[in-house]
Amino acid sequence: MTGYSVETAREAAPAIEAWLAYQRRYLRTPGVQAAVRVGAELITSQAYGFADEPAGTPLRTDHLFRIASHSKTFTATAVLQLVGQGSLRLDDRIDAHVPELAGTGVGAVTLRELLGHQGGVIRDGVDTDFWQLMRPFPDRAELIDLCREHGVVYQTNEHFKYSNVGYSLLGLAVESASGVSYHEYVQTKIIEPLGLADTGPEWRPELADRFAAGHSGLIDGAEPRQAIGHIDTRGMAAATGFYSTAEDLVRYAAAHFTGAGELIDDPAKRLIQRDESTVVTNGVEQGTYGLGMDVTTIGERRVVGHSGGYPGHITRTYLDPAEQVAVSVLTNCIGGPATALADGVVKLLNLAAGDHDPDPAAADHDLSRFTGLFANLMGVVQIALLGGRLVGFYAAAPDPTASYDELRFVDENTLVGTAAAGFGLAGEPIRFSWAADGSVESVRYGGGTRWPVDVFLARRADQISNGTAGTGTS
């Protein structure tokens, strides 16, 4: 597989945007905000759907999302900054910085163990109904009391145990070592140096009109969604309090590219991004975690980043530190498909960047005129320009690259599926009819006629009621 390039990503952007917009509608997601960055260039920043679906408020690219556990990456960055300055050591016990925990099981847990979720610390607490808005998030005093009474679940390094409480304690260590509040530290040492105008460590009521509403989940599948407001995460901000936009998040991710020196050096980045823990549950590998970022492989790409789950917001950011690519997708509903959509974006970028034979017949022809989403009774096919060639895939597929057709140029009205073994249209022609304005009127794909999605939806009822299916005619 070849490397990413700005030019390849720019060409792929319309296909990515069209796929995200369709997936948002298909999956009944109120709003999706997404951004892609390659190196120093913002390739795309888009918003689809609604900031508040019941109110009909359109979503903008500057609407703010609660990014929840993305907060951990900011906290890990802060800790590694302070380690680099000599103010903290990774092997410090947490009670060296939170003396109220001295003499407790949690007090002996090190910063390294907390960063890697190897401290055995309770995840959220014994009364976690703050996640469903039934009570406030704990403040510092409640957090300390919780840790003293119920903090130890496992011995250190016994099991990977994801812990919001553990990262909340890291926020207290940042305060102890820096001499300022956690909020002030991350604002002055991370947010402001990167110019992240739409990012902060906690809910800000004075910006309420700029926050995208959260939305309830589809418990029974068919009920309407309800808008959900925002609350302060108080003592747990270092684990889950941050807000941001997709555009700001890919800018922040770029500071974690190899060679970027704005926040921490490359050795510190490698600590955050390395394979610290491989998580196996019931014999099934669930993923890998470093010291503040999770690690996965999408196709042949090793990417790091984090997801976030807040009441009504589900979010995901990936970055490839070596190839300098960042993708962020934010959704504003419980159960939102942020990770699946971000995976799909990375896979489309991978497909665009992958090795393939050039199509000499297509030289000097505008292949973009063939692109779009085309529907018939059996579903929607997207024809996309990726890596200088056309591909076709089912737009509703969660993985748009799992099964796709390589398409070759024949003439100004015709493409053909590449000759290869397959269950689809391999080797068959795809013929286009054009409207007077040059747009696609219809396309015969795999022998069946397809139309632009809006055209097909307008004709579907008549097509079904007037059709011959089931009448015995042919």
Task: Pick the closest to residue 73 from 254, 211, 323 (CA basis).
Answer: 254
Enclosing H/E stretch for 462: helix 453-466
pLDDT > 70 fraction of the chain, expressed in percent and rounded: 97
Is the CB of residue 250 less than 8 Å from the CB of residue 326? yes
Q: Exposed, middle or buried, 48 (CB in 10 Å: 0-12/13-18/19+)? A: buried
Q: Summarize the confidence of residues 460-473 as an average pLDDT.
A: 73
Is the CB of residue 36 less than 8 Å from the CB of residue 250? yes
What's the rounded Cα separation, in Å, for the pair 92 and 109?
A: 8
How far is C-alpha 401 from the chain's CA centre? 17
Enclosing H/E stretch for 246: helix 246-254
Please report where in the chains the tokens 């509040």 appear, as a residue.
181
Query: At residue 424, does pLDDT exceed 90?
Result: no
Task: Kindly list the distances between the CA atom of residue 405 and the CA atoms of 383, 389, 411, 418, in Å, as whole numbers in the listed order.
Answer: 9, 11, 18, 7
3-class secondary-structure state, position 315: strand
List Cβ neighbours of 423 (8 Å cut-off, separation of 6 or more).
none
**Neighbouring-strand partners of residue 351:** none
What's the rounded Cα separation, in Å, for the pair 312 and 230?
A: 9
Return the pLDDT at 257.
Answer: 98
Return the pLDDT at 1.
Answer: 46
Query: At residue 469, does pLDDT exceed 60?
Result: no
Report the chain's C-alpha Rg in angstroms: 25
Is the CB of residue 362 less than 8 Å from the CB of residue 408? yes
Q: Residues 411, 412, 414, 415: is their CA dihedral positive or negative?
A: positive
Return the pLDDT at 217.
Answer: 95
Helix ranges (DSSP H) in 116-245: 140-150, 164-178, 182-186, 192-194, 237-240
Amino acid at 329: V
Is the CB of residue 199 less than 8 Å from the CB of residue 253? no
3-class secondary-structure state, position 82: helix
Residue pLDDT, tens place only, 33-90 = 999 999 999 999 999 999 999 999 999 999 999 999 999 999 999 999 999 999 999 9
Q: Residues 375, 380, 381, 386: is their CA dihedral positive or negative?
A: positive
How far is C-alpha 446 from the chain's CA centre? 33
Q: CA angle, 336 as apex, 335 and 341 as ends, to 5°?
A: 135
List Cβ neighbours of 387 (8 Å cut-off, separation of 6 or more).
8, 11, 12, 351, 352, 353, 354, 356
For residue 374, how many C-alpha atoms fall within 13 Å in the half-sphere facing its CB? 25
User: With left for phi above 0 and alpha for psi between -120 and 50, is residue 192 left, alpha or beta?
Assistant: alpha
* DSSP designation for 408: E
Tell which wins on pLDDT, 221 or 187: 187
Query: At residue 346, does pLDDT exceed 50?
Result: yes
For residue 46, how many C-alpha atoms fall within 13 Å in the half-sphere facing its CB? 19
Is the CB of residue 307 less than 8 Å from the CB of residue 296? no
Residue pLDDT, tens place only, 266-312 = 999 999 999 999 998 999 998 999 999 999 999 999 999 999 999 99
Amino acid at 159: H
Q: Summarize the confidence of residues 235-239 as an average pLDDT.
A: 98
Query: At residue 474, does pLDDT exceed 90?
Result: no
Return the pLDDT at 468.
Answer: 61
Structure tokens at 231: 């609350």
| pLDDT bucket at 2, cuts 50 / 70 / 90 | low
What's the rounded Cα separation, in Å, for the pair 25 and 48?
A: 9
Q: Summarize the confidence of residues 419-432 as an average pLDDT.
A: 82
What's the rounded Cα separation, in Å, for the pair 234 and 228?
A: 18
